[in-house]
């Protein structure tokens, strides 16, 4: 989920009439000297966007290896919509002012190497201790520092939270910190959410109570954001259904349903499937549209044929 509305003064209003951006989370293009081959593969299953991870481990600027990866992302960005997600893990959480300054400078340097990127995500799943071991107030501080360096008329700045770990309470904490800070400039341009299901077998439309916010809980998410005033666009940055837990046929059904739901949620602007290809590790993620050996799953066709506009 992304954080920000009205009180955080979102600068880009939602455009529900636009077709849904449908993409994949896929780092493959970073690892090949032929990134457009990967882009064509993504587009062959109907993906018109890709989120690319830019790891951060405390560096001041991208390393030589990272610069090569980012140059490949820029090549891709000339043919598809590229979203850069800059983040580390819990141990790298930038909570001190000097750490946040370093992180935002790193993100700015990365974005400068991909001038055709559409958006940049500041950290990942900030309500999960796997990625963020600071407070909501410290995340608010990071967003404020980075927004001032990253935002432009061309690039949207996004934040990110997960469906678990009480995202609404986290949003409330960030909003409180924002009000207390006295800041008048925005924190973000859009709000990102990773609406993974609570259990592998539940449908994307499942409605929950308590501290979990899945795709079927969209009204509750919008209600939480409404207290800030003007409603923003929402980007579903990650979602996926693993074929180690359900059948390939069920995955196809769930992928189609998830996109069908997102496209009719007026504020939702994007949906990304995690990932394009299954991971090699048995314990890794297997929610890709393509088997590790290269054969397409039934979900690939479902992903490609899912509607990009709401059909009443």
pLDDT in tens, 29-75: 999 999 999 999 999 999 999 999 999 999 999 999 999 999 999 99
Q: What pLDDT sits at residue 10? A: 40
Phi/psi at 49 (5° precision) = -160, 160
Those residues with Cβ within 8 angstroms of residue 9's Cβ, 6 or more apart along the chain or in another chain: 184, 185, 186, 187, 230
CA distance 290 to 280: 12
Residue 166, pLDDT score: 95
pLDDT at 232: 79
pLDDT at 1: 39
Q: Are 230 and 188 in contact (CB under 8 A)?
A: no
Q: Where are the beta strands (DSSP E) in the chain?
A: 21-25, 49-55, 81-87, 119-122, 156-162, 190-194, 234-239, 268-274
Q: In whole angstroms, what is the distance from residue 298 CA to residue 312 CA? A: 26
Closest CA to 187 of 117, 136, 130: 136
Q: Give me the pLDDT at residue 228, please.
A: 62
Q: Are 75 and 69 in contact (CB under 8 A)?
A: no
CA distances from 42 to 51, 202, 231 (A): 12, 27, 31
Give the H/E segment covering residue 177.
helix 167-181
| SS3 category, 145 | helix
- Encoded tokens for 53: 């991870």
Question: Rounded distance, CA 29 to CA 35, Å?
Answer: 5
Question: 192 near 235, Cβ under 8 Å?
Answer: yes
- Structure tokens, 85: 């997600």
pTM of the complete model = 0.93
Backbone angle region of 123, left / alpha / beta, with phi > 0 → left and psi within -120 to 50 → alpha: left
Helices (H) and strands (E) in the chain, counts: 8, 8
Radius of gyration of the chain (CA): 18
Residues in the chain predicted with pLDDT less than 70, given as ranges, are 1-18, 227-230
Would you state the pLDDT for residue 4?
A: 37
Assigned fold of 6-305: TIM Barrel (3.20.20)
Query: Which DSSP state fits 282?
Result: T
Q: Three-state DSSP class for 110?
A: helix
- Tell me the C-alpha distance between 278 and 224, whole Å: 34
pLDDT at 8: 39
Residue-range domain boundaries for the chain: 6-305
């Amino acid at each position: 989920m992304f954080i920000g509305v009205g009180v955080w003064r979102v600068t880009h209003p939602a455009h529900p009439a636009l077709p849904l951006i449908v993409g994949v989370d896929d780092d493959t293009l970073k690892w090949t000297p032929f990134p457009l081959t990967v882009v064509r593969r993504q587009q062959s299953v109907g993906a018109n966007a890709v989120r690319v991870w830019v790891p951060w481990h405390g560096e001041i600027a991208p390393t030589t290896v990272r610069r090569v990866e980012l140059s490949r992302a820029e090549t891709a960005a000339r043919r598809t919509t590229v979203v850069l997600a800059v983040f580390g893990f819990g141990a790298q959480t930038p909570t001190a002012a000097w750490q946040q300054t370093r992180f935002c400078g790193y993100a700015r340097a990365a974005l400068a190497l991909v001038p055709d990127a559409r958006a940049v995500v500041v950290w990942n799943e900030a309500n999960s201790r796997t990625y963020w071991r600071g407070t909501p107030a410290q995340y608010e501080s990071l967003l404020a520092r980075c927004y001032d360096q990253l935002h432009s008329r061309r690039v949207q700045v996004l934040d990110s939270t997960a469906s678990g770990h009480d995202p609404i309470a986290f949003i409330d904490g960030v909003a409180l910190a924002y009000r207390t800070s006295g800041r008048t400039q925005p924190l973000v341009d859009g709000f990102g959410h990773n609406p993974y299901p609570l259990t592998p077998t539940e449908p994307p439309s499942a409605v929950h109570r308590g501290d979990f916010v899945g795709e079927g809980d969209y009204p509750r998410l919008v209600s939480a954001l409404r207290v800030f005033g003007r409603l923003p666009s929402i980007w579903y940055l990650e979602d996926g259904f693993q074929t180690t837990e359900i059948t390939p046929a069920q995955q196809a059904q769930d992928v189609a349903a998830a996109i069908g739901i997102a496209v009719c949620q007026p504020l939702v602007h994007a949906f990304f499937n995690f990932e394009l290809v299954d991971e090699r590790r048995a314990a890794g993620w297997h929610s890709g549209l393509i088997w590790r050996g290269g054969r397409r799953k039934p979900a690939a066709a479902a992903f490609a044929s899912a509607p990009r506009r709401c059909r009443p």
